[in-house]
Amino acid sequence: MSPAQICSLPLSKVFPASPFVGAIILLVWVPVSCTYQDSSKIPAQLPPGPSQESWNVTTVISQADSGTDTSRTRLIIDADYVEWVEEEDNFLQLLRGIENKVQVEIYDSSGALSAMVEAQRVSYYESETRFVAEGEVVVQTSDDRMLLSEWIEWKEVDRLLRTDRFVQITTPDEVVSGTGLEASEDLSSYEIGEFRAEVVLDS
């Protein structure tokens, strides 16, 4: 599999009508530019170590198609605040919601939107091509499926959503809840550990 390509852009570049303005940031390995704001707005409990930061950033993560010069979008992440931290064997984006929750759009191999994820915090691990969403996590799909949890992990390698926490899934036919989950990114199939289900009947 070809490595993911990552580009962080201000919201105004991706969505022209947006009122947000941010710095243009291109990520090859280390971001080449950043903007700074009042330190009182920086979320607490961020990992120590040298980093760069920015506000109101849209990160576009693309996957190169093997044998061609084209690439396809896999993730688009919108966040009020982003900090980049270089670890020993990884490069980490810490995305935080301040006024709005972090939003992650997941696209399938055909370029269609699989799901929209919202959370208070998202950590994206570049070398592993995976993210972890934490805090009031909501996953929604275009066919009226919704997942609620406090912690969800997604990996590019298998395109699955996972958690070992309590989770609830609502579909047009049923409401299922339990502890532990493995699901396709569009919630079309899922397995829950200890669970209970409520069938929704037409009135």
Query: Is the pLDDT confidence value at 74 over 50?
Result: yes
Summarize pLDDT for 110-145 with one digit per residue, the tens: 889 999 999 999 999 988 999 999 999 999 999 999
More confident residue, 108 or 48: 108
Contact 118, 109 (CB under 8 A): no
Task: Output the pTM of the full model.
Answer: 0.71
Q: Is the pLDDT of residue 27 over 50?
A: no
Q: Is residue 14 part of a domain?
A: yes
pLDDT higher than 70, residue 48: no
- Encoded tokens for 196: 């209970």
**Position 45 in a domain:** no
**Model confidence at 39: pLDDT above 50:** no
Mean pLDDT of the chain: 78
The set of residues, in sequence order, having a beta carbon less than 8 Å from that of 185 and lying 6+ positions away, is: 106, 108, 114, 115, 154, 159, 160, 161
Please check whether residue 91 lies inside any domain of the structure.
yes
Q: Identify residue 119 by its one-letter amino acid code.
A: A
Domain count, the chain: 1
Does residue 170 fall inside a structural domain?
yes
| pLDDT for the residue 22 | 39
Between 108 and 89, the more confident residue is 108
Give the separation between CA 198 and CA 164, rounded to whole angstroms: 21
Q: Which of 38-42, 63-67, 161-165 has the lowest mean pLDDT?
A: 38-42
In a domain, 161, yes or no: yes
CATH code of the domain containing 23:
2.60.450.10
By residue range, what is the domain housing residue 84? 4-40+50-199
| Residue 166: inside a domain | yes
**Two tokens at 86?**
């270089």
Residue 95 pLDDT greater than 90, yes or no: yes
